[in-house]
Amino acid sequence: MSGEAAIVRRQLGREPRGTWRVAVRCSFGYPTVIATPSRLPEGEPFPTLYWLTCPHLLDAVGQLESAGEVDAWAARLAGDVELANRMRAADAAYRVARAAESGGSDACAAVGIAGQRDPLGTKCLHAHVAAALAGINDPIGESILGSLARECEDQRCSEGATDSE
């Protein structure tokens, strides 16, 4: 197993599904977001293009989800036409990026960010943060990132790393 694979496995607490590459790194050089094609090696469609791996951000975003931020974002999108239009554009950009990551053919073209058919559907803030970090102009992810420290101060991803990895 490569050193990077071991780090991502530790970050997630499990093996990531399918093939992937590091799409974004923190300033310490550790993976923050991985990118995956839209089809797993066994042929199963897999809609998650960008996967957040940073333990610091996973924890922080998880706390926001537990505090009801998913529903709050759904309400904001329903009540703000400009925000909704920005989200539709982000969803379209995500689908284009997923097709590119998948070699031009998107096995999950019917769904967008977080596997949602409706671009205004909101269920996983982690997916929006990962998309924003990877360069998608996702207004949900960008707003959340603006309210959090983007990375830890303790290089926690170095824990358990060895020179042999």
* Percent residues over pLDDT 70 in the chain: 96
pLDDT digits (tens, 9 = 90+) for 124-134: 999 999 999 99
pLDDT digits (tens, 9 = 90+) for 132-153: 999 999 999 999 999 998 888 8
Q: Is 152 helix (H, G, I), strand (E, B) or coil?
A: coil
Quote the pLDDT of residue 150. Answer: 87
* Residue 163 pLDDT exceeds 50: no
Give the whole-angstrom CA distance, residue 71 versus residue 109.
Answer: 25
Give the whole-angstrom CA distance, residue 127 versus residue 61.
Answer: 10
pLDDT digits (tens, 9 = 90+) for 34-72: 999 999 999 999 999 999 999 999 999 999 999 999 999
Q: What is the mean pLDDT of residues 61-89?
A: 97
- CA angle 151–154–142, rounded 5-degree value: 5
Report whether 128 contacts 153 (CB < 8 A): no
The confidence band for 1, taking pLDDT boundaries of 50, 70 and 90, is low
Report whether 78 contacts 56 (CB < 8 A): no
